[in-house]
Amino acid sequence: MKFSRLRRGETGPITRPTSTDRIYKDDLITVVGTQDAVNQVIAEIGHSSSHSLIEDRRYLDFRRITVSDPKLAGHALSDLDIDHKFGATISRVRRGDVDMVGSPDLVLQQGDRVRVVAPTGRMAEISKFFGDSAHGLSSINPVAMGLGMAVGIIIGEWAIPLPGGSTFSIGSAAGTLIVGLIFGRIGRIKSFVTAMPFTATAVLSELGLLIFLAQAGTRAGGQIANAFTGGDWWKILITGFVVTTIVGFGMYASMRWIVKMGGTRLSGLLGGLQTQPAVLAFANERTGSDPRVALATPWSTRWP
């Protein structure tokens, strides 16, 4: 949680609180954080107030600014030092449809929208610092993507020796996914940005899903034709129904009732367990592309 505004009494000027400020009786403060954190602060120091410090923008203004400057991507909020540069506070960061508290260790990505609270006269300067362009929502670093794919293919095709003289490889798809996870976690290597904007990754995910469906349908079409021709279609239908039902219900029951997993994450887990992109697409559509669906989806759904 963070404190974003402070007013001494009910008529004093609104200021941006710092870590050294003290609070006194009848002060008004604005708290940003999770519901539990805000409730805890209210219980500890006072009570909710009907006075809004947001409406008075004579001293402090606030604005959503898009992070489009690639030089800022991959840096934690504490690295930007906007407190001393502009006398500003980042209270929230919106990535996609998710709002996060602007904690000092939060790492920015291109396309993030930061909610800045700053002196009214410095807003234009701050907007220029972040870039504030829609270009940042879809910027793709082709060098990082190409390098990541190349390294992933090399890792995936590398023959890992096993006892007895045999070898195995994890496959280029798995290798590329591993490198992508590492690149996304690192975010930046000195001046080299390794992470892509959230919007760009969402588009690429949808494109990858469409390609997978097209490839799976093309391969399955011939096999279905052979099954109908040979008369084994009913056996395949029954077997598929039995296996899918047992696995799906068993996983749902164990994760829902024993592990107590929520329905949103469980939908992604079921889609990945059965390598079924249609289930994943349905879950994303019903939940508004909630990131918890993707986090619970094993890599096999996206990289068959």
Q: Report yes or no: 6 and 17 within 8 Å, Cβ to Cβ.
A: yes
Class of domain 2-136: alpha beta
Nearest of 67, 56, 58, 57 to residue 90 by alpha carbon: 67
pLDDT tens figures, 30-71: 888 888 888 898 899 888 888 878 777 778 888 999 998 888
Whole-structure pTM value: 0.64
pLDDT tens figures, 64-108: 999 988 888 888 999 998 888 998 989 899 988 788 988 888 989
Q: Which residues fall within 8 angstroms of residue 222, CB to CB, at 6 or more apart?
A: none
Share of the chain above pLDDT 70, in %: 91
- In the chain, what are the domain boundaries? 2-136, 227-304
- The per-residue pLDDT string of the chain (304 residues; one tens digit each, 9 = 90 and over) reads 888 888 887 777 888 888 888 888 888 888 888 888 888 988 998 888 888 787 777 788 889 999 988 888 888 999 998 888 998 989 899 988 788 988 888 989 888 999 999 888 899 999 999 998 887 677 777 888 889 889 999 998 888 888 877 888 888 878 888 898 888 888 888 878 888 887 788 778 777 766 766 776 677 666 777 777 777 778 888 888 898 889 888 888 888 888 888 888 888 888 777 766 777 778 878 887 777 777 665 443 443 3
Find where tokens 């077997």 sit. 239
Q: How far apart are CA 87 and CA 167, in angstroms?
A: 59
CA 246 to chain centre: 32
For residue 280, the model assigns a pLDDT of 76
Helices (H), the chain: 35-45, 77-80, 82-86, 123-130, 142-157, 172-186, 198-230, 233-253, 263-273, 277-287, 291-295, 299-302
Q: Report yes or no: 35 and 18 within 8 Å, Cβ to Cβ.
A: no
Sign of the Cα pseudo-torsion (210, 211, 212, 218, in order): positive
Q: How far is CA 56 from CA 16, 21, 60, in A?
A: 13, 21, 8
Q: How far apart are CA 243 and CA 196, in angstroms?
A: 38
